[in-house]
Amino acid sequence: MAVNFIATIKENGLGGWCIELKDTLDDRVAVCENISVFEDAIEQMGDDYGGDIEVQWEKDDNVTPVHFEEVKLEISKYQQKFDKDALK
């Protein structure tokens, strides 16, 4: 059974965004300032479960539409890369 991670899009207080990634089994939290850091964090945390994870996405109410779209686009690129690598 897959372990649930919660990825919450947040405003970082500096005019940008971040993603808070939380492991729901052991309450580990990684704050990811960009998609590259998110990719590393999800890989490292997911390795503890053999990669058998599911990510539930959330966003804080104060996330701007611009930041939400920016994250959505970056995550889409990440997902495409992940899917392509999985087929190899």
1-14: pLDDT as tens digits? 789 999 999 999 99
Which residue is it, tokens 């897959």? Answer: 2
Give the model confidence (pLDDT) of 41-69 as tens digits.
999 999 999 988 999 999 999 999 999 99
* pLDDT above 70 for 88: no
Q: Which domain holds residue 17?
A: 3-86
Q: pLDDT by residue (tens digit) across 13-47?
A: 999 999 999 999 998 999 999 999 999 999 999 99
| 74, containing H or E segment | helix 65-86
Q: Give the number of domains in the chain.
A: 1
pTM for this prediction: 0.88
CA dist., res. 72 & res. 22, Å (int):
18
